[in-house]
């Protein structure tokens, strides 16, 4: 009964049966009792109860039981006391596989992946749980390349994989935009007859959509026999990210017809779908329906989406009025959306105001300073650009360097702005020169406003030429066969000049180029972009 309740929606009922054991004249708790009670403490997230059960474990003499020890290690880690987990583990004279695996899992789940890897490497035998914990830990910590490398080692060791492994590996592919590796994982799942659960299918949809292969994402979606709200939401988010806003809303209508109730995350996708195609009134109706129709309380991200919806459409007055009418304090997402809208539509005065509000909330938000600098640069106000840069220096704010990732033949390559360390950089430079010449012949004139320095135009053009996505595109042109799309993932928003250049390159070189930036996808083909210059 204790075990059953420890896994149920009402785990606290376990203590009722534990108390009955304690008050019984001929019963006493054993190691199984405490193993399940420790699990209950983890479920209810109660440090005080956890400490009490730990004390009872010691009192009844079960502190050396390996299953109880591993449960305590896991419990303290889940409750946020990793030091306590490590303390228990380090006191073990000869940790068994169960305790070692529990400690690796605890460290990995708590974000201490380096400690987890050190323990993992010392294990004489590693079970699938330890492998999965490490891969998941790397993925959740944003160290996706290490997650994929470890998965490769897992294959070499012949360790059996399961659904959990595949979900983590797909998440790593998603983060890197590594479509080739994601495709390989999909084939691996089918060849090894790994059951296509709702969770795994949803991860596949997310991977394909966020790697820019929307057709394959929707193919997986329509083939899935069982779908939950997260499956529908993942498909809708993929459509919105890739600029298919109307298709996103059509899928939302179908979801409602199927009787699947939307959740808060669903409405983030719906509002983004409205935003990418400028459906302002429809977006506002969906926002209002959250509370009126579905009884869902809008969260901060929903308010930010509505500000973005108004702002991208140029309705800046509606955007600021909406912010002022919010029932909660406006957050950084709302002010950031307004600031970006001011940059798009050249509203210097409102941009300054939004920037001040954003910096007040997040003093170290480099994006706020950079966007404000760009607004001043657009108006050729170099004194104010200089003042913003001085303020950044005084506050110790550093601009996040632009980074673009491209996958070639299953290998992921990273390019940072101005970085020349790639082994093929000399070839890349030659290709950049060729691209520059062909752009000029096509009538291209550099938009140097994004360059924040008051320097000569020629130097500005050279600085623009070294933006990470342009370097990655050049590498793609010299590395990928003709006809193969160039797929790039960038950590920042694409600047106006890079957007213009990529459109021209797609036409001049007759090459499809797909760029995923911080906000959305841009599919460049024959000189046009899927965003229709609305981003």
Domain with 469, as residue range(s), is 404-529
Q: Which long-range contacts (CB under 8 A, 24 or more apart) does 478-485 make?
A: 478/424, 478/427, 478/428, 478/431, 479/408, 479/409, 479/424, 480/408, 482/511, 485/212, 485/511, 485/512, 485/513, 485/514
Cα 205–chain centre separation: 15
Evaluate whether 510 touches 517 at the Cβ level (below 8 Å). Answer: no
pLDDT of residue 203: 96
| 79 assigned to some structural domain | no
| 265 assigned to some structural domain | no
Give the H or E element holding residue 139. Answer: helix 128-140
Q: What is the pTM of this model?
A: 0.78
d(CA 55, CA 53) in angstroms, rounded, equals 5
Cα 296–Cα 297–Cα 301 angle in degrees, nearest 5: 110
CB atoms within 10 A of CB 279: 19
Q: Where would I find the beta strands (DSSP E) of 353-506?
A: 403-408, 411-416, 486-490
| 397 assigned to some structural domain | no
| 473 assigned to some structural domain | yes
Evaluate whether 501 touches 444 at the Cβ level (below 8 Å). Answer: yes
Number of domains making up the chain: 1
pLDDT of residue 534: 64
- Phi first, then psi, for residue 416 (nearest 5°) are -105, 150
pLDDT of residue 291: 94
| 12 assigned to some structural domain | no
Q: Euclidean distance between the first and final Cα of the chain, in Å?
A: 56
Q: Which long-range contacts (CB under 8 A, 24 or more apart) does 313-318 make?
A: 313/278, 313/280, 314/341, 314/344, 314/345, 315/280, 316/341, 316/342, 316/345, 316/347, 316/350
Cα 425–Cα 426–Cα 428 angle in degrees, nearest 5: 60
pLDDT of residue 109: 84
| 159 assigned to some structural domain | no
| 451 assigned to some structural domain | yes
Question: Which pLDDT tens digits describe the chain residue by residue (535 residues)?
Answer: 989 988 888 888 899 898 999 888 888 888 889 889 988 888 888 888 888 989 998 998 888 888 888 888 878 877 778 888 888 888 777 777 888 888 888 888 888 899 889 989 988 888 898 999 999 999 999 899 999 999 999 988 888 888 889 999 999 999 888 888 899 999 999 988 888 899 999 999 999 999 989 999 999 999 999 999 999 999 999 999 888 999 999 999 999 999 999 999 999 999 999 998 889 999 999 999 999 999 999 999 999 999 999 998 999 999 999 999 999 999 988 998 998 888 888 888 898 888 888 888 877 777 777 777 777 776 677 777 787 777 777 777 777 788 899 988 878 899 987 788 899 999 999 999 999 899 888 887 766 555 444 434 344 444 555 688 999 999 999 999 988 999 999 988 888 888 889 999 999 999 999 998 887 889 999 999 888 776 6
| 459 assigned to some structural domain | yes
């Amino acid at each position: 009964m204790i075990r059953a309740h420890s896994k149920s929606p009402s785990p606290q009922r376990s203590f009722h049966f534990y108390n009955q054991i304690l008050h019984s004249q001929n019963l006493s708790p054993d190691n199984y009792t405490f193993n399940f009670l420790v699990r209950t403490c983890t479920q209810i997230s109660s440090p005080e109860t956890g400490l009490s059960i730990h004390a009872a474990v010691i009192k009844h003499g079960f502190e050396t039981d390996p299953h109880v020890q591993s449960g305590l290690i896991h419990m303290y880690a889940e409750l946020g006391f990793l030091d306590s987990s490590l303390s228990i583990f380090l006191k073990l004279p000869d940790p068994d596989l169960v305790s070692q695996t529990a400690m690796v899992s605890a460290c990995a789940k708590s974000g201490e992946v380096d400690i987890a890897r050190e323990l993992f490497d010392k294990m004489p035998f590693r079970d699938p749980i330890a492998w999965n914990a490490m891969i998941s830990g790397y993925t959740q910590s944003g160290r996706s390349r290490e997650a994929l490398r470890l998965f490769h080692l897992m294959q070499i060791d012949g360790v059996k994989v399961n659904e959990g492994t595949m979900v983590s590996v797909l998440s790593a592919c998603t983060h890197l935009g590594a479509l080739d590796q994601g495709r390989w994982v999909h084939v691996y799942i089918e060849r090894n007859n790994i059951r296509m659960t709702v969770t795994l299918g949803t991860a596949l949809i997310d991977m394909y959509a966020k790697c820019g292969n929307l057709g394959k994402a929707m193919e997986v979606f329509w083939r899935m026999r069982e779908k939950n709200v997260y499956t529908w939401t993942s498909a809708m988010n993929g459509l919105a990210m890739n600029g298919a806003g109307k298709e996103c809303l059509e899928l939302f209508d179908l979801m409602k017809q199927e009787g699947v109730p939307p959740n808060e995350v669903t409405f983030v996708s719906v509002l983004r779908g409205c935003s990418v195609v400028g459906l302002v009134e429809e977006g506002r109706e969906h926002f209002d329906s959250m509370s009126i129709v579905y009884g869902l309380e809008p969260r901060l991200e929903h308010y930010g989406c509505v500000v973005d919806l108004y702002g991208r459409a140029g309705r800046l007055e509606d955007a600021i009025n909406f912010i002022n009418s919010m029932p909660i304090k406006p957050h950084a997402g709302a002010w950031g959306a307004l600031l970006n809208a001011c940059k798009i539509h050249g509203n210097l005065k409102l941009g300054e105001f939004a920037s001040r509000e954003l910096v007040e909330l997040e003093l170290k938000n480099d994006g706020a300073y950079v966007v404000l600098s760009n607004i001043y640069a657009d108006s050729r106000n170099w004194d104010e650009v200089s003042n913003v840069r001085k303020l950044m220096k005084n506050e110790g704010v550093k601009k996040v360097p632009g980074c673009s990732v491209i996958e070639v033949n299953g290998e992921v390559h990273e390019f940072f702005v101005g970085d020349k360390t790639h082994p093929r950089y000399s070839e890349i430079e030659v290709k950049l020169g060729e691209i520059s010449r062909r752009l000029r012949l096509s009538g291209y004139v550099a938009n140097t406003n994004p360059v924040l320095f008051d320097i000569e135009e020629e130097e500005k053009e050279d600085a623009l030429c070294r933006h990470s996505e342009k370097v990655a595109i050049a590498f793609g042109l010299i590395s990928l066969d003709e006809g193969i799309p160039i797929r790039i993932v960038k950590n920042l928003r694409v600047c106006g000049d890079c957007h213009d250049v990529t459109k021209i390159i797609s036409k001049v070189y007759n090459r499809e180029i797909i760029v995923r930036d911080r906000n959305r996808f841009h599919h460049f083909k024959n000189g046009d972009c899927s965003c229709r210059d609305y981003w």
